[in-house]
Amino acid sequence: MRRFLLLVVCFFTSLTTQAVESTVLLSDYLQGMNNIEAEFVQHTFDGKGSLLQTQKGMLHLKRPNKFRWQSLSPFEQLLLSNGETLWQYDEDLEQVSIQKLDQRLSVTPALLLTGNVKTIAQEYDVYGEALATEYHFVLIPKRTDTLFDRLRLEFDSNKLLSRMVIKDEVGQKTIIRLQNVKQSAQLQDSLFEFDIPPGIDVIRAQ
């Protein structure tokens, strides 16, 4: 019985050590992502694996907490933040919703790539996997009020983010592949501000 308990303790101690090491390594990878510009292709699948939608667009990231996620096809949508305000603009609907940006990394996944990496351990359990030329991280939120159940970040041999896989509570999976990634791009702060076009419906969330 004592031997069994010792094995159990050693097993969970090993898992805890691995999680801590993976969190430190992920923080190191993310710290290197200061200014990023990339093209993306996003595929969304339902719980049975059927393709629901494919989107293509441009992604811009800048520390701290600034991001611009612009879908260009099949229709134009924009998710944008200057670090304080979050805008979601749908050109076809002629509508923009405006709200305060939630600074919690587990609530706003985009902040993982631009926010304070020191809080990752508070928000996620992190598990790493080393492959031949890549390193993958699986993040599981500790909170229950999150937009997803599991997030996978895949980095290439140059420590550049190449793919993200997001799975939500109903089993829907989104795969985002980054292409033509430019590290340390010159990004102006004005790129992360939104000027409301005339005639657009404005929805302000409390």
For the chain, which residues score pLDDT lower than 50? 4-17
> How many other β-carbons are positioned within 10 Å of the β-carbon of residue 103?
15
pLDDT of residue 15: 38
Which residue do the tokens 């990339």 mark?
38
Q: How far apart are CA 88 and CA 122, in angstroms?
A: 27
pLDDT of residue 106: 56
Angle at 161 between CA 160 and CA 167, to 5 degrees: 165
CA distances from 123 to 26, 106, 139 (A): 13, 6, 9
pTM of the complete model beyond 0.85 = no
Amino acid at 117: V
| In contact, 138 and 154? CB cutoff 8 Å | no
Q: How far apart are CA 167 and CA 170, in angstroms?
A: 8
Burial of 4 (C-beta count, 10 Å sphere; 0-12/13-18/19+) = exposed
Q: What is the secondary structure of 139-152 as a DSSP string?
A: EEESSSS-S-SEEE
DSSP bridge partners of 167? 150, 173
Q: How far apart are CA 103 and CA 83, in angstroms?
A: 8
The structural domains of the chain, with segments of one domain joined by +, span 2-204
| CATH topology assigned to domain 2-204 | outer membrane lipoprotein receptor (LolB), chain A (2.50.20)
pLDDT of residue 63: 86
| In contact, 57 and 71? CB cutoff 8 Å | yes
